Amino acid sequence: MLITLEGLDGSGKTTVWEVLREEFPEFVFTREPTETWYGEAVNRSVSDDDADSLAELFLYTADHAAHLSETVRPALEDGKVVVSDRYSDSRYAYQAVSIEDHVKRPLEYIRGVHQPWTRPPDATLYFEVDPETGAARSGATNKFEQAAFLSQVQRNYERLVDAEPERFVRIDATRSPEEVIDSAVDVVGRLLDDGEERDGRDDPDE
Ligand SMILES: Nc1ncnc2c1ncn2[C@@H]1O[C@H](COP(=O)(O)OP(=O)(O)OP(=O)(O)O)[C@@H](O)[C@H]1O
Ligand SMILES: Cc1cn([C@H]2C[C@H](O)[C@@H](COP(=O)(O)O)O2)c(=O)[nH]c1=O
């Protein structure tokens, strides 16, 4: 099972991901941008205000491709639960804003680039905060962590959630870290129980 954590900068995904890592040590924990040279290239681009936005989309996409082949697919084939702090929806939500002057229907375009080869998540925890809170919590240190930009990203996340309500679980991330963490741990526990129930039903020996 592939579980992803998504939301605006500063929504508290990494805080939750670190706690999940302690609660579920048997899972594989990973993230995008990755900690590989592909991810380093992405981070260089993120910190460059003048980076070409289309080039940046393809750097993120290259990082995703390597992430899939080197980490996500092998772990899933091994029967592991994988939890990724950001994944393809981050591209659909963020780069659909940054490339909107270059491409018509940017969200659909980016999905189309991924669709033939990506592995969609089974479930996505969407940490909801308003853009002002996200920007303030993240420190507004780069071009993405600005309330005006994040408000457009939020609109794209809403479109993604509306399109696939069965995949996304909304988590009110404006609450205290303890409350957000409790909700996320509950959701992951439930996803696990549902998965085991489904596997039991699929097993002809059961
Ligand atoms: N529920 C919360 N309430 C208040 N502050 C929080 C909460 N969750 C996290 N924080 C704080 O907000 C900051 C950003 O948190 P975190 O790094 O977990 O967010 P993130 O969604 O992973 O951000 P990014 O996408 O920018 O990496 C940190 O200083 C963290 O301690
Ligand atoms: C995966 C991914 C990330 N981003 C943005 C979101 C953040 O502003 C930065 C770095 O991510 P982090 O969680 O703060 O480490 O990159 C993006 O625009 N598109 C993506 O696909």
The ligand with the least distance to the CA atom of 139 is: 1
- Please report which confidence band the pLDDT of residue 204 belongs to, taking 50, 70 and 90 as the band edges: low
| Ligand 2 near 84 CB (within 6 A) | no
Q: What is the distance between the alpha carbons of residues 116 and 99, in angstroms, rounded to a whole number?
A: 21
Q: Which of 54, 129, 144 is the best mutation target for the ligand 2 pocket, counting ligand atoms within 8 Å of the beta carbon and taking the most?
A: 144
pTM attached to this predicted model: 0.97
Question: Rounded to the nearest whole angstrom, what is the distance from the C-alpha of residue 79 to the centroid of ligand 2?
Answer: 27
pLDDT tens digit sequence for 145-163: 999 999 999 999 999 999 9
Q: What is the DSSP string of 134-184?
A: HHHHHTS-STTSSHHHHHHHHHHHHHHHHH-TTTEEEEETTS-HHHHHHHH
3-state percent breakdown (helix, strand, coil) of the chain, nearest 5: 55, 10, 30
Q: Which of 16, 35, 46 is the best mutation target for the ligand 2 pocket, counting ligand atoms within 8 Å of the beta carbon and taking the most?
A: 46
Angle 4-7-9 from CA coordinates, rounded to 5°: 125
pLDDT tens digit sequence for 115-130: 999 999 999 999 999 9
Q: Which residues are annotated as a binding site for ATP?
A: 7-14
The pair of structure tokens assigned to 24 is: 């579920």
The ligand with the least distance to the CA atom of 9 is: 1
Position 105 pLDDT exceeds 70: yes
Residue the block writes with tokens 């980490």: 71
The pLDDT of residue 140 is 87
The pLDDT of residue 198 is 77
Amino acid at site 176: S
Q: Ligand 1 — pocket residues by CB below 6 A?
A: 7, 9-15, 137-138, 173, 176-177, 180
Contact 4, 172 (CB under 8 A): no
Closest CA to 98 of 125, 59, 41, 62: 59
The pair of structure tokens assigned to 175 is: 């609450």
